Chain A
Amino acid sequence: MRTRSLATAGALAVAAGAVVARRRAAGRDSTPAPQPVPLPQGRVRTVTTEDGVDLHVEVSGTREPTATVVLAHGYVQSSRLWAGQVRDLLDARPDLAVVTYDHRGHGASGPTARDRATLEQLGRDLARVLEEVVPEGPVVLGGHSMGGMTIMALAEQRPELFGDRVVGVALVGTSSGGLDAVTYGLPGPVAGVVKRLLPVLNERAVRAEQAGRPRSVGAMDAWLVFSGAADPADVRTAMDVHRACTAETVAAFLPTFSDHDRVTALAALADVPVLIAAGDADRLCPIAHSHAMADALPTAELAVYPGAGHMVQMERRPEVSRRLLALVDRALARASRPVPAERTA
């Protein structure tokens, strides 16, 4: 076991090194560097969950919106990584409000107990955020990765919310289940070893963190969530965010993904416009998972970005923003349709 783990580590190190080299070479490309996305500058609020965790929430845009877009981020990340879409949505539609929040244990939100580090709890947390921050008006929910799974958990718990309250859903770089079979783009046997190792490595990192040695984040993280053609500035931003996530959170949430199997929960979304968007080079939530969700939602729009990795909302920022805006349009158009009169007996 020890030799194999060393070999695995070696293989991963070589792979990571190759990726870093490729990225450095790509960075010498002549394309101009895009503007770095500024930090979201919304009105900060705190929403306290039923078990006392303070969630950091930011609200931007008009105080009397025609609709509110609520964006949920992914595992080991924070609302910061939705910043591009926040900016693009508000620039294009001054009539909208945009809400982002950090999941428990992530970003500027409070830590979570281990037994509450589940997608079910995240679904309940999202319901809480909606009740307190967007008590009225149509809502379009968007979730990236674990954020998308959170929305599915909400749909499972509260299907009645979807239709009149939640009028549109965007599932970005996410999955409705089957994550245990994902190999992260590694050869099968290697992936198997890595997955067995991960909980062990996580607990080791937790203990190190408790002893004052922060979690290290490096080329491997970047390789997992970005394609080789990603903008180095985006990678730096994302890695900064990853670095700010505690080892405790990383360890706490890992098991919940094995239990995530919510394709049937998608049925609650059948009557609202849905956008499914993902990169076909996504190593964490493979594109086949987005196809599976699209199959379960025949009227959903599926947008695929060849060559883009897991952080598709960064690697394809203008396109994903545009699809989100189109979703808002469709959602509002449907929401404003007159309800057909009840047939009298």
Chain B
Amino acid sequence: MTLTTTSRHATATGPLPEHVRVAVVGSGFSGIGTAVALQRAGIDDFVVLERAASLGGTWRDNSYPGAAVDVPSHLYSFSFAPKKDWSHVYSRQPEIQQYLEQVAADHGVLPHLHCGTDVVSGRWDDDALVWHLDTSRGTLTADVVVSGAGGLVEPHLPEVPGIETFAGPSFHSARWDHSVDLAGKRVAVVGTGASAAQFVPELQKISAKVVVFQRTPPWVLPRQDRAYSAREHRLQARVPGFLRLARGGQYAVREARLGVWTGGGRLRRLFEGQALEFLEQQVPDPELRARLTPDYALGCKRVIVSDDYLPALTQPNVEVVASPVTAVHPHAVVDADGTEHEVDVVVYGTGFRVMDIPLGHRLVGREGRTLREEWDRSGVQAHRGTTVAGFPNLFLLLGPNTALGHTSVVIMIEAQIGYVVEALRRMEETGAGAIEVRRSAQDAYNARLQEGLTGTVWNAGGCRSWYRDEQGRNFTLWPTRTSAFIRLMRRFDAESYELRSARRVPVPA
């Protein structure tokens, strides 16, 4: 653990309180951001429940070699806690985790943080208007639950036979087994997404052989990462407004690029041209290049931003198998032609079960259904990505249709947190014990949102991606500018909600 243990920095010890106003689940960007915002709003009666031994969320879980942001760090940080000395434009995972720990410590969040506390089940009590939560360290009730679990939490493994039969070490990239020495080994990598694009170049340097199984080639754009110099650090620290300007500039550039994904095609074709040129520069071998050339629109799947992924694939110890994995044997991984590739280790860079958060299976709402059951019935959806009809007093951060293809999700997180704080304020002002979004409001919102997604490259780009479900419905992405979402979330739309207060004597069973 990198946290210091002075009393100011110590996390909560001792038993959980019996009751809190707000239970925040998760301590990544969402959970920590919420905790800070609650403090600033004068709400002190909250806990942050973290199932792992330390905070960090995504940026603790994904410790694979080369793990880093794909968005500049000035953007991928809190607006209220700019970091003046990021080591690189695109910072690495350990530094990001440290940043979160620092923010938590600096803003007095740590005393509220209960680590090793997994929310095992939860039930909405419609008489007392509270959530009953069962955790691995005891039970508590909470007026309000804020889920900081995001949407990319549980590792997804491919549905191919034999995964359990592999004799050597195998693991998912988000559950990297650091005790396995990969030097000199033959490693199969399944998947060519954002994680694989980062760890494959690292594996290439040390492993004897890397066999990459690529179902669909990704589009790759240049990253142009670099270390910040000491002079730049001084500028960022001393010149007032410099950081804000830097962040603002990065933000504006990315918003301008949104047309690649949602626009008519000219901007996209420009970027496709650039990407194909980049591919040609980095991959001289025409046969390999052909295997790596996507046949769908740029942006349909998440774009890889990397300077070293493609060069790694050209190295003599790397083989790109342009086929999905069809089976795993005790000592080999089998491609679609039936060819067995003998390997010592298998690494699954196969992403996550999108929006299938554990909490979704464990929280039972007003109608006696879990969030998962509700979404199985009516599709994965929420109101403004934050509230769900049938689930009073539950707020999701980075819920359905808040993910982005073009810029930092921390922007979305902050907008949602502001909305949640406004909702809490409204409850306080009106003495409401329960606040629940109306189904008709949620339906109207989602109808408009889905309309906004039609014609975007994510829906119409001719690819299969984790953005969409089996029916092709895009349940992950926000369709337009983040500024539109920020504007939307700035005003709490009370007219979309039902507010209830009850000081009723519970009816005996």
Contacts of B206 in A (CB 8 A): none
Cβ of B498 < 8 Å from any Cβ of A? yes
Contacts of B20 in A (CB 8 A): none
B495 touches A308 (CB 8 A): yes
How far apart are B118's CB and chain A's nearest CB, in angstroms?
A: 32
As a 0/1 sequence over residues 466 to 508 of chain B, the CB contacts with chain A under 8 angstroms (1 = contact) are 0000000000000000000000000000110111111111011
Cβ of A188 < 8 Å from any Cβ of B? no
A303 touches B447 (CB 8 A): no
Cβ of B432 < 8 Å from any Cβ of A? yes
Interface window among A57-65, A114-122, A293-301: A293-301
Partner of B498, one of A294, A305, A333, A337: A305
Complex Cα distance, B447 from A308, in Å, reads: 22
Contacts of A319 in B (CB 8 A): 438, 498
Contacts of B495 in A (CB 8 A): 229, 305-308
Cβ of A35 < 8 Å from any Cβ of B? no
Complex Cα distance, B275 from A251, in Å, reads: 78
Contacts of A334 in B (CB 8 A): 507
A330 touches B499 (CB 8 A): no
Cβ of B185 < 8 Å from any Cβ of A? no
B126 touches A30 (CB 8 A): no
Cβ of B377 < 8 Å from any Cβ of A? no
A31 touches B447 (CB 8 A): yes
Cβ of B362 < 8 Å from any Cβ of A? no
B448 touches A30 (CB 8 A): yes
Partner of A301, one of B440, B448, B504, B508: B504
Contacts of A31 in B (CB 8 A): 444, 447
B508 touches A302 (CB 8 A): no
How far apart are A275's CB and chain B's nearest CB, in angstroms?
A: 9
Residue of B nearest to A303 (CB): B500
Contacts of B501 in A (CB 8 A): 294, 301-302, 304
A303 touches B503 (CB 8 A): no
Complex Cα distance, B126 from A201, in Å, reads: 48
Given the interface contacts A316-B438, A326-B126, does A306 sit within 8 Å of B502 by beta carbon?
no
Given the interface contacts A229-B495, A306-B497, A307-B494, does A301 sit within 8 Å of B507 by beta carbon?
no
Contacts of B502 in A (CB 8 A): 299-302
Cβ of A318 < 8 Å from any Cβ of B? yes
Complex Cα distance, B508 from A337, in Å, reads: 8
Contacts of A303 in B (CB 8 A): 498-500
How far apart are A223's CB and chain B's nearest CB, in angstroms?
A: 17
Cβ of B430 < 8 Å from any Cβ of A? yes
Complex Cα distance, B504 from A298, in Å, reads: 7
B497 touches A330 (CB 8 A): no
Contacts of B175 in A (CB 8 A): none
Cβ of B439 < 8 Å from any Cβ of A? yes
Contacts of B447 in A (CB 8 A): 30-31
Which residues of B in the span 335-350 have a Cβ within 8 Å of any Cβ on A?
none
Count of A-B residue pairs with CB < 8 Å: 57
Contacts of B508 in A (CB 8 A): 337
What is the predominant secondary structure among interface residues of chain B facing chain A? Answer: mixed
Cβ of A273 < 8 Å from any Cβ of B? yes
Contacts of B448 in A (CB 8 A): 30
How far apart are B502's CB and chain A's nearest CB, in angstroms?
A: 4
Contacts of A333 in B (CB 8 A): 507
Contacts of A337 in B (CB 8 A): 508
A316 touches B498 (CB 8 A): yes
B500 touches A318 (CB 8 A): no
How far apart are A155's CB and chain B's nearest CB, in angstroms?
A: 19
Contacts of A280 in B (CB 8 A): 494
Partner of A318, one of B430, B432, B439, B505: B439
How far apart are A337's CB and chain B's nearest CB, in angstroms?
A: 7
Which residues of B in the span 404-452 have a Cβ within 8 Å of any Cβ on A?
430, 432, 438-440, 444, 447-448, 451
Which residues of B in the span 247-261 have a Cβ within 8 Å of any Cβ on A?
none
Complex Cα distance, B432 from A305, in Å, reads: 11
Contacts of A30 in B (CB 8 A): 447-448, 451
Residue of B nearest to A326 (CB): B126
Residue of B nearest to A306 (CB): B494
How far apart are B446's CB and chain A's nearest CB, in angstroms?
A: 11
Complex Cα distance, B507 from A307, in Å, reads: 31
Contacts of B505 in A (CB 8 A): 299
Which residues of A in the span 269-317 have a Cβ within 8 Å of any Cβ on B?
273, 280, 294, 298-308, 316
Contacts of A305 in B (CB 8 A): 495, 498-499
As a 0/1 sequence over residues 318 to 333 of chain A, the CB contacts with chain B under 8 angstroms (1 = contact) are 1100010010001001
Complex Cα distance, B236 from A161, in Å, reads: 75
Contacts of B438 in A (CB 8 A): 316, 318-319
How far apart are B341's CB and chain A's nearest CB, in angstroms?
A: 53
B430 touches A304 (CB 8 A): yes
How far apart are A23's CB and chain B's nearest CB, in angstroms?
A: 15
Partner of A302, one of B126, B451, B500, B507: B500
B440 touches A318 (CB 8 A): yes
As a 0/1 sequence over residues 8 to 45 of chain A, the CB contacts with chain B under 8 angstroms (1 = contact) are 00000000000000000000001100000000000000
B504 touches A304 (CB 8 A): no
Complex Cα distance, B505 from A299, in Å, reads: 6
Residue of A nearest to B127 (CB): A330
Complex Cα distance, B505 from A337, in Å, reads: 14
Partner of A330, one of B430, B432, B444, B507: B507
Partner of A298, one of B126, B439, B503: B503
Residue of B nearest to A294 (CB): B501
B432 touches A273 (CB 8 A): no
How far apart are A165's CB and chain B's nearest CB, in angstroms?
A: 19
Complex Cα distance, B505 from A133, in Å, reads: 31
Contacts of A323 in B (CB 8 A): 500
How far apart are B387's CB and chain A's nearest CB, in angstroms?
A: 14
Residue of A nearest to B499 (CB): A304
Contacts of B498 in A (CB 8 A): 303-305, 316, 319
Given the interface contacts A30-B448, A318-B440, does A300 sit within 8 Å of B504 by beta carbon?
yes
Complex Cα distance, B126 from A198, in Å, reads: 44
Which residues of A in the span 217-236 have a Cβ within 8 Å of any Cβ on B?
229
Contacts of B507 in A (CB 8 A): 273, 330, 333-334
Residue of B nearest to A315 (CB): B495
How far apart are B11's CB and chain A's nearest CB, in angstroms?
A: 38
B504 touches A273 (CB 8 A): yes
How far apart are A339's CB and chain B's nearest CB, in angstroms?
A: 13
Contacts of B494 in A (CB 8 A): 280, 306-307
How far apart are B448's CB and chain A's nearest CB, in angstroms?
A: 7
Residue of A nearest to B426 (CB): A306
Contacts A294-B501, A318-B440 supplied; 7 other A-B pairs, CB < 8 Å? A304-B498, A305-B498, A305-B499, A306-B494, A307-B494, A308-B495, A326-B126
Can you list the 7 inter-chain pairs with the closest CB atoms, starting with the nearest?
Answer: A307-B495, A306-B494, A301-B502, A304-B499, A333-B507, A299-B504, A302-B501
For this complex, 28 residue pairs linking A to B, each with C-beta atoms less than 8 Å apart, are A30-B447, A229-B495, A280-B494, A294-B501, A298-B503, A299-B502, A299-B503, A300-B504, A301-B500, A301-B501, A301-B502, A301-B504, A302-B501, A303-B500, A304-B432, A304-B500, A305-B499, A306-B499, A307-B494, A307-B495, A316-B498, A318-B438, A318-B439, A318-B440, A319-B438, A323-B500, A334-B507, A337-B508
Residues of B participating in the A interface, judged by any CB pair closer than 8 Å:
126, 430, 432, 438-440, 444, 447-448, 451, 494-495, 497-505, 507-508
Residues of A participating in the B interface, judged by any CB pair closer than 8 Å:
30-31, 229, 273, 280, 294, 298-308, 316, 318-319, 323, 326, 330, 333-334, 337
